[in-house]
Amino acid sequence: MRYTIDLNKITLANGYSIEFNYKIKKTLTVHDVVIIVIDPPYDVIYNYNVFAISLTGDFLWRIGEIGSYCWESDHCPYVEAIVNENHELVLFNWCDTAVIVNYQTGQVIRTYQTK
């Protein structure tokens, strides 16, 4: 067991746990980094809802401000995280923007529109 999830709390194998304000929607482990996507309530604007921690519990990064291709809304939380066929971490937000980031630093490599 590398970690367990209980609603808004992640507990690592070493016993260290972190609680978030909202439910954990998804986790994805990329080498020794755990990517965490938080699921904020619909009526809460919480666009910085992707975090990365090490398997020992060190905070690595939180997604920052990203330009969106959707100009009708400022409510664009992330809804999915995958590793693509090029072994890149891709985050997808609600406003049709995909963001490829360095999984260790959170630095944005590039963005593209998904629809």
CA distance 12 to 10: 6
pLDDT band at 65 (very low <50, low <70, confident <90, very high): confident
* 18 or 1, which is more confident: 18
Closest CA to 76 of 102, 52, 96, 106: 96
SS3 of the chain: helix, strand, coil, percent, to 5: 0, 50, 50
- 29-57 pLDDT per residue, tens: 999 999 999 999 988 989 999 999 999 99
- 68-84 pLDDT per residue, tens: 666 666 788 999 999 99
- With 70 as the cut, is the pLDDT of residue 102 above it? yes
Contact 63, 107 (CB under 8 A): no
Closest CA to 27 of 42, 43, 39: 39
Domain ranges of the chain: 3-113
Q: Please give the share of the chain, as a percent, with pLDDT higher than 90.
A: 78
Tell me the whole-structure pTM to 2 decimals.
0.92
Q: What is the CATH number of domain 3-113?
A: 2.40.10.480
Closest CA to 100 of 74, 78, 73, 115: 78
Contact 89, 101 (CB under 8 A): yes
In the β-sheet with 3-6, what is the strand arrangement from edge to edge? 3-6, 9-12, 17-19
Residue 8 confidence (pLDDT): 98
- With 90 as the cut, is the pLDDT of residue 59 above it? yes
Rounded to 5 degrees, φ, ψ at 94 are -70, -15
